[in-house]
Amino acid sequence: MLRVTRSTVDSLGTNALAEWDVAYPQHPEDQNILITTLDKIVNWGRNSSVWPFTFGLACCAIEMMATGAPKFDLDRFGAGAFRATPRQADLMIVAGTVTLKMGLRVKRLYEQMAEPRYVISMGACATAGGPYWQHGYHVMKGVDRVIPVDVYVPGCPPRPEALIEGVCLLREKIKRDSVLNRKRGSLL
């Protein structure tokens, strides 16, 4: 059972209440009590504040930057606060070509992010090597060879709308996560 004051409810708005799937008490004396599950309220907080890591590898990163700009307004989803350090970031958007030399750095940066952490593979290069899949001896054929990926966004490069859809899919996955029974891959 979750106890929430009336002012908290007013500031969060009805959308939040719909996501929490709350039960409204009937008795007037219990009007400041909402009943929901731990998973629902924690996942609501997490999917409303997926902060990406400021991190780009090649041309796809330009589209990622455009996605964060005012025209596409990633802040609508609470994902506009790009962090300059992995320790404050929830989401790594692998935007660009992952060379074999860079792969180990990508892995290290991922490991410096706190759990729960999420990964979007943005574009053909990060997903499978892109134009370098056949003759690019220096290119990793998919970043999922070194870190787990939650969402793949296709394209060369993907448009900002495609990345936004990837973020929305990730948010849907986070809603299905379990706080107490979380294990890597449970989102997949």
Binding site for ligand SF4 (CB under 6 A): 58-60, 96-97, 123-125, 130-131, 156-157
**Least Å distance between CB 38 and ligand SF4?**
39
**Least Å distance between CB 152 and ligand SF4?**
12
**Least Å distance between CB 92 and ligand SF4?**
15
Q: Cβ closer to ligand SF4: 43 or 157? A: 157
Q: Cβ closer to ligand SF4: 47 or 127? A: 127
**Which residues, including other chains, have CB under 8 Å from residue 7's CB and lie 6 or more apart?**
none
Residue whose entry in the numeric block shows the structure tokens 């296709």: 154
Q: Cβ closer to ligand SF4: 41 or 120? A: 120
Q: Are 137 and 106 in contact (CB under 8 A)?
A: no
Quick check: helix, strand or coil at residue 2?
strand
For the chain, the straight-line distance linking the first and the last C-alpha, in angstroms and rounded, comes to 29
Quick check: helix, strand or coil at residue 169?
helix
**Least Å distance between CB 130 and ligand SF4?**
4
